[in-house]
Structure 1
Amino acid sequence: MALWDRFKESASTMQMQLVAKKNDLKSGAFRDASMAMCALVAAADGSVDPSERQRVAQLIATNEVLQNFDAMDLQRRFDDNINKLTTDFAFGKVSVLQEIGKAKKKPAEARAVVQIGIVIGGADGDFDKSEQAVVREACFALDLPPHEFDL
């Protein structure tokens, strides 16, 4: 099986796992970490073009697991994180990774945040090296081994 086919299958499996845990993923820490992860993946290459920002915002709005939260609130949190990353990527990344790290107290939520990053990263059909690298960094912020997610 080609690497991309394995990845698509893995992303699909992760989305199903997230939906199965939907009722357990309602905390503020999960919400905030998820939006930070989405922004980090969107800005993984150091910039975010408007079409990419719009695509990720659309994915957030339609993700079944994130429907536990108010869509406008999610959009605001995503935008705040994107603004941090586009103003000064290196400094913004530190702040965003700290936000992601808040979910590490609950391992199920921490894993779900990583899974959301992988689902968002692969949504355009290409989970590229820069996206994989920032999700790997998020794993470290969450005290999770990246190899658990094939990173």
Structure 2
Amino acid sequence: MALWDRFKDSAQTMQTQLMQKKNELKSGAFRDASMAMCALVAAADGSVDPSERQRVAQLIATNEVLQNFPADDLRRRFEENVGKLTTDFEFGKVGLMQVIGKTKKKPIEARAVLQIGIVIGGADGYFDDSERAVVREACFALDIPPHEFDL
């Protein structure tokens, strides 16, 4: 099986797992951490072009798990986070990793945030090295071994 096929199967499995936990993923900490993760994945290569920004915003709006929250609220939070990263990437990244870290005490939420990052990162057909690296860093922020997610 080709690497992409394995990744696609893995992303589909993760989305299925997220759907099974949807009713447990309604906290503000999960919402905020998910939007932080989406922004980090979108800006993983150091910049976010308008088409990528629009694509990720569309993915956020259509992700069934994230539909626990109002789409306009998610988009606003995503845009604010992207703004922090475009103003000062390293400083913004530190702040967003702290937001992600707030889910550490709830393992279901913490793992779901990582899964959201992987699903969003791979939605364009390619989960590149910079996207993998930012999700791996989030694993460390959550004290979750990256190998659990093949990172």
TM range (shorter): over 0.9
Pair 1:97-2:97 in alignment: yes
What TM-score results when the alignment is normalised by the length of structure 1?
0.99
Please tell me the root mean square deviation across aligned C-alpha atoms, in Å: 0.5
Partner of 1:127: 127
Pair 1:113-2:113 in alignment: yes
Partner of 1:71: 71
Deviation string, structure 1 residues 40-69 (Cα, Å, up to 9, x no partner): 000000000000000000000000000000
Unaligned runs of 5+ in 1: none
The offset of 1:102, in angstroms, is 0.7
Q: What is the percentage of aligned positions where both structures have the same residue? A: 83
The offset of 1:3, in angstroms, is 1.2
The offset of 1:4, in angstroms, is 1.1
Equivalents in 2 of 1:144, 1:80: separation in Å? 26
Partner of 1:61: 61
Deviation string, structure 1 residues 49-91 (Cα, Å, up to 9, x no partner): 0000000000000000000001111111101110000111111
1:12-91 equivalence runs, <5 A: 12-91=12-91
Partner of 2:149: 149
Equivalents in 1 of 2:146, 2:136: separation in Å? 6
What TM-score results when the alignment is normalised by the length of structure 2?
0.99
The DSSP-based 3-state class of the residue aligned with 1:144 is coil
Q: How many residues align?
A: 151
The DSSP-based 3-state class of the residue aligned with 2:79 is helix
